[in-house]
Amino acid sequence: MVVVSNIRHRLRQDWNIVRSIRLLSSHLDLERVFVRSPSRDAAPGFSLGAHCPTSCSSWPMRPSLEESMAALRTFTTAYQGIPSDGKHNHHLLSDLIPYRSTLKDGRRVEVDFFRHSNATDESEDDEWHVGMTLMNIVIRDGRSWPFEDEFETVEGWRGYFLSHAAFVVRALDNGMDAAGRNPSSQGEILGCFYIKPNFPGRCSHVCNGGFITATRFRGLGIGTLMGRVFLKAAQDLGYKSSYFNLVFKSNVSSVKLWEKLGFERVATLENAARLEGLDDGSFDTAFGYRFDLEKLPMDYLDLDPTEI
């Protein structure tokens, strides 16, 4: 099984590499146009090669690399993407992120972008590594996400979780876990979530989200906090609605959370998931939940949740 898992993972990586090569080859047009040059009059790093006609003004302008990557990003969906830093269109969230709040136990936290430094790239305390670890824990648990294969590299995890906008819930104070038995330090990551298009192209205005609360901090209101910030951040990022594809019936806390936050159950898919903890051979039902972001009040996070 480990060998099969590794083969699947490698095939996924190879396919992403092929897609990137196709994009870059289109951008660079290596066959005839560009050659390296130190010329300051040409575009940075390039000059027109010997095959350029006397006048190139009639040539169609090729998109910049940034534009090409942005175009490719629009083709990503809920289950694939290009490795990034989780800060796509971060300027649209400058009035929201970081967002500070207080948990049920009185501990102060902030919802912020993932932090990463090349100096801590190999450290297990780096927030990218922490995010991948949290993701692999829920995959191993096999009860709330559809994945079976764990992420083996941070690069692979970044392609899934950090392709667009992604956030952590970071402790601002020292404290304890939900059971009150074990200490927790300032700066610890208590949960994380992402926002990205659920579908490509003409349906990319519908977003998807994925949420993970660290096991030992469940019950402190972290899920509710992430869900509320998700709605406002998604609205600020320009999405028109949110749709969650697979909320499993057996994940009672998740079902209760989305219904409490005003999500509408719009789909039921029976026999959708082969999850851990179910009777042998049985499959769980999945619900689809939608939220109309155009109806979300602009001051949503300032309102009393009980009055919404």
Q: What is the CATH number of the domain that holds 245?
A: 3.40.630.30
- Same domain, yes or no: 302 and 161: yes
Which residues are 170's β-sheet partners? 110, 189
Banded pLDDT at 80 (limits 50, 70, 90): confident
Give the predicted TM-score (pTM) of the model: 0.76
- Same domain, yes or no: 182 and 224: yes
Q: Give the Cα separation of 25 and 103 in Å (integer).
A: 49
Banded pLDDT at 118 (limits 50, 70, 90): confident
As given in the structure block, the two tokens for residue 92 are 């649209």
Amino acid letter, 273: A
Percent of the chain residues past pLDDT 90, beyond the cut: 66
Over residues 88-114, mean pLDDT: 96
DSSP 87-135: BTTGGGGTTTSSEEEE-TTS-EEEEEEPP--GGGTT-TTSHHHHHHHHH
- Same domain, yes or no: 131 and 183: yes
**Domain residues for 241?**
82-307
Report the candidate in 91, 93, 73, 74 with the shortest Cα–Cα distance to residue 82. 73
Measured CA to CA in angstroms, residue 98 lies from 115, 127, 191 at distances of: 12, 16, 14
Residue 70 lies in a domain: no
Greatest distance between any 2 Cα atoms in the chain: 76
Residue 68 lies in a domain: no
Residue 67 lies in a domain: no
Q: Which of 40, 56, 72 is the last residue of a domain?
A: 56
pLDDT, residue 279, reads 79
- Same domain, yes or no: 138 and 271: yes
pLDDT digits (tens, 9 = 90+) for 25-71: 433 333 333 333 333 333 333 333 333 333 333 334 444 545 544 54
- Whether the pLDDT of residue 208 is over 80: the answer is yes
- Same domain, yes or no: 30 and 117: no
Over residues 228-246, mean pLDDT: 97
**Higher model confidence: residue 277 or residue 219?**
219
Residue 73 lies in a domain: no
pLDDT digits (tens, 9 = 90+) for 1-24: 444 444 444 444 444 444 444 443
